[in-house]
Amino acid sequence: MKKLKEITCSIKRLIRGMSRIKKMINRYEPGLRNKSQIRTSVITGWLQHYNLRGVQYMAGHKYVSSTERYRMDTLEDLQKELEKYHPLK
C-alpha cells in the first residue's frame, strides 16, 4: 500500500511539472495547444537526425509503424521527388 502511495505522489508531481513546463513554453510559443504537440515535434526532429529504429527505441514505440507516422517530408525532399519524376526535366 505504501508503494502505491509513493507511485501516486510521483505521478502527481510529474503532471504538475509537465503543466509548469507547458506554461513556460506557452510564453515563447503561444500556438502550443497540448503536450502531445511537444512529443510530436521532438520525435519528428529525431527522425531528421537518426535512423527509424533508433527513434522507435527512443520514443518507446513497440511497433515501427507507430514511429513511421511521425515521418514528414521536408520541402527539399518534395522538390527532389518532383525533379526526379517530372516529365519536363
The pLDDT value recorded for residue 16 is 86
Band the pLDDT of 89: cuts 50, 70, 90: low
- Is-contact 62 71, C-beta < 8 A? no
pLDDT tens-place string over residues 25-83: 888 888 878 778 888 888 998 998 999 999 999 999 999 999 999 888 778 888 888 88
- Is-contact 68 52, C-beta < 8 A? yes
CA distances from 7 to 3, 10, 17, 58 (A): 6, 5, 15, 23
Q: pTM for the complete prediction? A: 0.59
Cα(37)–Cα(58) distance, integer angstroms: 17
Compute how many other C-beta atoms are within 10 angstroms of the C-beta atom of residue 59.
15
